[in-house]
Amino acid sequence: MLSLPRFWSSHRGELATLLAQHVMLVGLSTIAAVAVAVPLGIFAARRPRLAAPLTGIANVVQTIPSLAMFGFLLPVPLVGGVGARAALVVLFLYGLLPIVRTTIAGLRSIDPSIVEAGVAMGMTDRELLRIVQLPLALPSIIAGIRVAAVVGVGSATIAAAIGAGGLGEYIYRGLSMVDSTVILAGAIPAALLALAVDGLLLWLEASMSRRHRRSAIPAAVAMAAVALGVAGSVAVGARTSASVVVGSKNFTEQLVLGELVAQTIERWGGVSVDRRLNLGGTLICDRALTTGDIDVYVEYTGTALTAVFHQPADTDPAAVYDAVRDRYARTGRTLLAPLGFNNTFAILVRGVDARRLNLQTIDDAAQVAARWRAGFGYEFLERPDGFPGLAKAYGLRFAEAPRVMDLTLTYRALATGQVDVIAGDATAGLIKGLDLFQLADNRRYFPPYDAAIVARSNMLLRYPAVREALERLSGRISAADMRAMNYAADVEHRDIAAIVREFLR
Amino acid sequence: MAGGAIQFEQVSFSRSSLPVLSRFSLDVNAGEVLALVGRSGAGKTTVLKLVNRLLLPESGAVRVEDRDTRDWSPIQLRRRVGYVLQEVGLFPHLTVAGNIAVVPRLEQWNADRCGSRVHELLDLVGLDSDSFKSRFPDQLSGGQRQRVGVARALAVDPPVLLMDEPFGALDPLTRADLHVAFRRIQRHLGTTVMIVTHDMGEAFALADRIGVIDRGELIALDAPRVIAASRDERVRRLLDAVPAVPRS
Residues A192, A92 share a domain: yes
- Element housing B218 (H / E): strand B217-222
Q: Which residue of A has its CA nearest to B95?
A: A211
Q: Which residue of A has its CA nearest to B158?
A: A121
Checking if the pLDDT of A292 tops 70, the result is yes
Quote the number of domains for chain B: 1
Q: Determine the length of chain B.
A: 248
The pLDDT value recorded for residue B20 is 86
pLDDT for res A239: 45
Per-residue pLDDT at A433 exceeds 90: no
Q: Is A286 left (phi over 0), alpha (psi -120 to 50) or beta?
A: alpha
Q: What is the pLDDT of residue A118?
A: 92
Contact A213 B76 (CB under 8 A): no
Residues A366 and A483 in one domain: no
Domain that holds residue B54: 6-89+160-240
Secondary structure of A400-416 as H, E, C letters = CCCEECCHHHHHHHHHC
Q: Would an 8 Å CB–CB cutoff place B76 in contact with chain A? A: yes
Looking at residue A388, what is its pLDDT?
Answer: 87
A62 and A187, same domain (yes or no): yes
The domain that holds A430 is classified in CATH as: 3.40.190.120
Residue among A111, A122, A132 minimizing CB distance to B78? A122
Q: Given an 8 Å threshold on Cβ–Cβ distance, is B90 in contact with A117? A: yes
Note the pLDDT of residue A46: 83
The span from the CA of A22 to the CA of B236, in Å, is: 76
User: Other C-beta atoms within 10 Å of B23: how many?
Assistant: 15
Which residue from A minimizes the CA distance to B98? A131
Per DSSP, helices labelled H in A210-339 are 216-238, 252-264, 282-291, 301-303, 317-330
- Quick count: other Cβ atoms within 10 Å of Cβ A215? 9
Q: Per-residue pLDDT for A171 more than 60? A: yes
Length of chain A: 505
Sign of the Cα torsion A173, A176, A177, A182 reads positive
Is A61 in the same domain as A92? yes
- Residue pLDDT, tens place only, A363-417: 999 999 899 999 998 778 877 778 888 998 999 889 888 888 887 788 888 998 8
Nearest to A127 among B88, B106, B152 (CB): B106
Of B85, B103, B136, the CB nearest to A122: B103
Q: Which residue of chain A is at minimal alpha-carbon distance from B152?
A: A121
CB contact (8 A) between residue B103 and residue A121: yes
DSSP label of A244: E
Query: For all residues of chain A together, what is the average pLDDT?
Result: 86
Which position has the higher pLDDT, A69 or A271? Answer: A271
Domain of A19: which CATH number?
1.10.3720.10
To test the contact with chain B by mutation, choose from A121, A123, A126, A207 the residue with the greatest count of B C-beta atoms within 10 A, namely: A121
Specify the 3-state DSSP secondary structure of B128: coil
For residue B135, give the amino acid letter: R
Closest CA to B37 of B191, B244, B189, B234: B234
CATH code (residue B215): 3.40.50.300
Asked if residue B116 has pLDDT above 90, the reply is yes
Residues of B in contact with A132 (CB under 8 A): 91
User: How many separate domains does chain A show?
Assistant: 3
Could you tell me the sign of the dihedral formed by the alpha carbons of A62, A65, A68, A73, in that order? Answer: positive
- For residue A213, the chain B residue with the least C-alpha distance is B93
A124 contacts in chain B (CB < 8 Å): 75
Structural domain includes residue B146? no
CB A21 within 8 A of CB A166: yes
Classify residue B46 as left (phi > 0), alpha (psi -120 to 50) or beta.
alpha
Alpha carbons A337 and A134: distance in angstroms, whole number: 64
- pLDDT higher than 90, residue A69: no
> Smallest CA–CA separation between A54 and chain B, in Å?
29
B214 within domain boundaries: yes
Pick B102's closest partner by Cβ from A119, A131, A136: A131
Q: Are residues A149 and A81 in the same domain?
A: yes
Distance CA B69, CA A16 (A): 66
Average pLDDT, stretch A309-318? Answer: 86
Q: Taking the CA of residue B209 as centre, how many other CA atoms within 13 Å lie in the half-sphere pointing to its CB?
A: 16
Domain interval for residue A426? 345-439
Test the A interface: residue of B73, B90, B91, B161 with most A CBs within 10 Å: B91
- Same domain? A428 vs A472: no
pLDDT tens readout for residues B74-115: 999 999 999 988 777 899 999 999 999 999 999 999 999 999
Measured between CB atoms, which of B74, B77, B91 is closest to A114?
A: B91
Smallest CA–CA distance from B82 into chain A, residue = A121
- 8 Å CB contact between A87 and A156: yes
> ipTM for the complex?
0.86
B78 interaction partners in chain A (CB closer than 8 Å):
119-122
Residue A324 sits in the same domain as residue A365: no
Task: With CB atoms and an 8 Å threshold, state whether B79 touches A122.
Answer: yes
Same domain, residue pair A335 and A374: no
